[in-house]
Chains A and B, each alone.
Chain A
Amino acid sequence: MSLRTRSAGRTRFGRLGLVAALAVPALALSACGGGGSGSGADSPYGFEAEEQEADSPITVWVDASREPAVDAFTKAHPDVPVNVETYDGGANGSGSFQTKITAFDQAGSGWPDVVFSTQNNDAAWAAVGQTPFAAPLDQGYFDQEFLDGFTPGALDPTTVDGTVYGLRNDLASVVTWYDQSLFDEFGYEVPTTWEEYEELGKQVAEEHPGYIVGSVGDAWAPEVYFWGAKAPINTVTGTDGFSADMSDPTTVKMAETLDSLIDSGSVVQDSVFDAEFVKKYTGKVLMLPGPIWFSGALFQNADSLDAPKGTIAAGLPLAWEGEEAATGNVGGGTWFISQHSKNLEAAKTFLEFVTSADDYQVDLAPGLPAYASAADKWLGNQAKSGYFAGDFAEDVTTASGQVWDGWGYPRFSQEAVFAKTVTPELAAGKKLVDLLPDWQTALENEAQVNGYTVE
């Protein structure tokens, strides 16, 4: 009897379980079906917006470095309620922005109103799909006059099919940082070509060991060295074509240059954000090709290299001998607004403030603002303070116009691929030149799973 009761119980529960199992997906599907009660595509925003609630608070995601922007905003606009949440900003291609948003898409609620991302290529996914996350900004939402105020080309990475989906926070073109006082002390000439750069690196390694001319320890090393060298390893054609040519002579030449400098010890493998880097190389950075935001992040930062006033200069990007100089771009964060926001007006006020207002971009921002008028004032402030040596404003402005257009913005992160494929092997003592084929395969694989046709 006892046996029979048990099996009867099991079938009863079994059926219940089956019903539950079928009910769950059915519920999930019906939840997905219910669309937002928007005001139609002919809304003033240019996209189907959610029903607006004038006083609802906006949720803002920023990385730790952008928290001062939110603080400045709440000070200037105490009437706009802001919930701030800190996340990693998608740094080093971690993909956390995308994965979190997709989870909210699945749940059908919970999206933040405004997101800051360190990755330029986020617009490539945020603007597409059945329910794209990013709100188009130039279809009636933002005033064209305001958008025209950005430095020409600044919004290119966030423009998909001619529509702007995000606002750049700062310009992040690569410049050649160098220490004028060390050059004077050692009696060296500041190099203008990659060839001279390699020579200098070897010379300083021999004559003044311990001083460095660069680092490949961060995930953005490809953007600094290979983008600037015009190596065609991140070519996006159309919306779905990708190629990475590691056998191109430029690519190989840059890899060889870096190999010889890593060998000599003047290019190091420490991340510039490691405590160890600061400990080992404070006062010993002869040169450091890197983005403009190194200014506030490393040199003029008491917690980092903390260079004395008047020593560091932002040199022009390096060129191959006989060729025109070009440069790369490392991030330069982007602000996005969610299509799901219930307070688009507040979100707009926020974005206009953080990208263009003096309170943040001129007074607090660590890098060159993407908004032209703020950039002028920021550069003016830098010139007035006399912190940087050389013609800082001039060189930085020139570099901003030299970003090579041969690199695209694919839906995956170059940085993540470099970090996992190349960084550990370099640390194990392998040569960059020998790693090029693996790197190419890794990029092509990544492109394929992200829906690109490898050419």
Chain B
Amino acid sequence: MATAQQSGAAPVPGAASLRAPGTRTARHGSIERSRGRMSYLFVSGYTVLLFTFGLAPTLYAAYLSLTKEGQFVGFDNFVQVIQDFRFGPAVLHVALFVLFWLAGLVLFVVVLSLLVHGLASRGLSTGLRFVYYIPGALAGASSVMLWLFVLDPTVSPVSWVLHAMGMQTFVQTVSPANLPVIFAIIAFWTGAGGWIVVLYGALNNVPGEVMEAAKIDGAGRLRTALSIQLPMMRKWISYMAVMSLAAGTQLFVEPRILSQASKGVVPVDYSLNQLAYLYAFKQTDHNGSAAIAILLLVVSLGLSMFFVIKGGLFERD
């Protein structure tokens, strides 16, 4: 919105010189107005969707979370869900998953994109980016189905790895202690490729003269990466962290499918979102469900703020 306004305000060079002197201000004003209207039109689609599927449900959830059967009950619903015996474990599960995933994502995506960017051969670099991206093209649920086979030592193509780690059966593989790492690996596999492409693009934006200056000053590959490329990618990395955090705290599809496949060994109440789902559709307690949703929102917003501020995401160059 801000950028649209600004470019609307700036006269297009060259166009002004064609105008007759006297009419300049009036003309300029009408162009600005029509551009302003256009920019509203352009953002209106997004705004409508944002209100319908983003803000309105959020407000409705906030309303639900503070009421019960239409009566205002303060924080009763929050107290109830927090005291639920399933809440603590679910928070722990999601926290561990997000921790493993974000750490893995930031580390490996940055390293891989630096490596791919540093490749001398253009063909190899393009090919690798394409290969990284492929898993992301699979829809969430179907990629989990694929992992069901990878994780079952009796049919897995990498069963020797699982055997080496002492896992002889599917139940042993999906034991509670392994789950955060398993979900992190699945999420990394499906999501990392897209981010590698994004960070690759960010690396392309590092000005050539800066890189050249670094080279002349005698900086090696590592030094350049640490002192030049990384600081200039900071915003993109925190953007990735914010987006992934939002997705990660909503963990649902992976445990849901693993639960069915493991015949219930992976519990149906593993993640917070699953718990919210059970509240809404098993206990028919939509107020409790909304309370969990609001708690998730508050925590994700808080953590996102951290990344936004630390990463300087809203700073302007």
- Chain A residues proximal to chain B, CB less than 8 Å: 2, 5-6, 9, 13, 16-18, 20-21, 24-25, 88, 91-95, 98-100, 102-103, 105-106, 129, 217-219, 269-271, 274-276, 415-416, 419-420, 423-424, 427-428, 445, 448-450
Contact = CB atoms under 8 A, between A and B. Distances in A.
Interface stretch (B17-25, B50-58, B223-231): B50-58
B281 interface: yes
Contacts of B172: 424, 427-428
B169 A270 contact: yes
Given A102-B284, A129-B284, A20 B267 contact: no
9 contacts: A9-B40, A95-B282, A102-B280, A274-B170, A419-B265, A420-B267, A424-B171, A427-B172, A449-B86
B78 to A, nearest CB: 16
A415 B52 contact: no
A20 B51 contact: yes
B186 interface: no
Among all A-B residue pairs, the 5 with the closest Cβ atoms: A419-B264, A21-B59, A420-B267, A99-B281, A102-B281
A416 B277 CA distance: 16
Contacts of A95: 268, 278, 282
B281 A2 contact: no
A312 B202 CA distance: 68
Interface string B266-301: 111000000001101111101000000000000000
B139 interface: no
Contacts of B86: 445, 449
Contact of B63 (A25, A88, A94): A25
Given A6-B5, A449-B283, A99 B264 contact: no
Contacts of B277: 99
A210 to B, nearest CB: 16
A267 to B, nearest CB: 15
Contact of B1 (A6, A94, A423, A428): A6
Residue with the highest number of chain B CB atoms closer than 10 Å, among A95, A100, A129, A424: A424
B175 interface: yes
Contacts of B85: 445, 448-449
B36 A5 contact: yes
B264 A415 contact: yes
B176 interface: yes
A2 B5 contact: yes
B60 A271 contact: no
Max chain A Cβ within 10 angstroms of own Cβ: one of B2, B36, B174, B264: B264
Interface in B157-189: 169-172, 174-176
Contacts of A270: 169
Nearest to A450: B283
A102 B172 CA distance: 33
Nearest to A449: B84
A5 B5 contact: yes
B84 A6 contact: no
Contacts of B281: 98-100, 102-103, 106
B204 interface: no
Contacts of B34: none
Given A2-B6, A20-B56, A102-B282, A424 B176 contact: yes
A428 B175 contact: yes
A157 B276 CA distance: 29
Contact of B263 (A13, A98, A105, A218): A218
A21 B9 contact: no
Nearest to A9: B40
Contacts of B262: 419
B259 interface: yes
Nearest to B154: A276
A103 B172 CA distance: 34
Given A94-B264, A423-B171, 13 more contacts: A16-B51, A17-B51, A18-B59, A92-B263, A98-B281, A102-B280, A274-B170, A415-B264, A419-B265, A420-B268, A427-B175, A449-B85, A450-B283
Contacts of B154: 274-276
B302 to A, nearest CB: 23
B260 interface: yes
A333 to B, nearest CB: 17
B142 interface: no
A326 B221 CA distance: 75
A135 B95 CA distance: 43
A420 B282 contact: no
Contacts of B2: 6
B126 interface: no
Given A94-B264, A102-B281, A25 B60 contact: yes
A21 B176 contact: no
Interface in B1-20: 1-2, 5-6, 9
A16 B47 CA distance: 11
A94 B260 contact: yes
B263 A88 contact: no
B55 A17 contact: yes
B281 to A, nearest CB: 4
A98 B171 CA distance: 26
A219 B267 CA distance: 12
A419 B263 contact: yes
A362 to B, nearest CB: 30
A423 B264 CA distance: 9
Contacts of B278: 95, 99
B263 A2 contact: no
Nearest to A442: B85
A269 B171 contact: yes
Contacts of B155: 275
Contact of B169 (A16, A94, A420, A427): A427
A105 B281 CA distance: 9
A424 B1 CA distance: 53
A276 B263 CA distance: 15
A416 B274 CA distance: 15
Nearest to A101: B281
Nearest to A441: B85
A91 B155 CA distance: 23
Contact of B284 (A17, A105, A449): A105
Nearest to B70: A29
A416 B258 CA distance: 14
B60 A219 contact: no
B52 A219 contact: no
A233 B55 CA distance: 47
Contacts of A13: 47, 51
Contacts of B267: 416, 419-420
B243 to A, nearest CB: 23
Contacts of A450: 283
Contacts of A275: 154-155
A428 B172 CA distance: 7
B264 A17 contact: no
Contact of B265 (A2, A98, A424): A424
